Homo-oligomer: A and B are copies of this chain.
């Protein structure tokens, strides 16, 4: 990491600025799903289930290709203050849509549709507890569940690589890795980065929450994210016993 991290303000949880929270990846947390993972980034806890089924959506029939899609949701009591259920409101909010689409795109980046055959894998990422970084935890965990689901379908070769994701942000002028809620709400700039296991970018989504950021700050955040994703890739490998 660069010298920006040498800031005198320490993180509440004592981590270094370029250090991930304690990460826990528990495979096989459910009995029915083809793949399932309880992924924890500190207090953030997301249940990622991959359901495999034969056949593909109508628009893809006869193509010989498979399909991977994802849905993200938060349990009402997962947040600091209870949130209303989207099923009760009768409509899915913009944020939920946005994150579901992000997860789907991220996983499809490492899928060879032809090698899947006409099978569908549906990822469900349900946030049991939210403490910042739920979408990046979801992507990181969902990849592991996807590996197990591909294996259960007998199409392990459909995976062309791995993906992991992490959040980075600038807090009080300091770039930091893997923001918990208390840092997330104070961040001037917030970025989610999805990368392959070989270090290429799949998604870069940066937003100025407070002040706009310059190119130098952007570069520092990208450096941090590259380190975080590399660390997560290694943890995924360990969890998969690969």
* Residue ranges of A at the interface with B (Cβ–Cβ < 8 Å): 30-33, 36, 43, 47, 49, 51, 53, 71, 73, 75-82, 85-98, 100-101, 105, 109, 122, 124, 126, 128-129, 131, 191, 195-196, 198-208, 211-215, 218, 222, 226
CA distance A36 to B87 in the complex (A): 21
Of the candidates B98, B124, B195, the one whose C-beta lies within 8 Å of that of A212 is: B195
> Chain A: interface secondary structure?
mixed
Residues of B within 8 A of A198 (CB): 212
Q: A53 near B32 (CB under 8 angstroms)? A: no
Q: What CA separation (Å) do A121 and B211 show in the bound complex?
A: 21
Residues on B with beta carbons closer than 8 Å to the beta carbon of A211? 200
With A49-B76, A90-B91, A129-B30 as given contacts, are A204 and B206 in contact (CB-CB < 8 Å)? yes
Of the residues B31, B53, B77, B94, contact of A36 by C-beta under 8 Å: B77
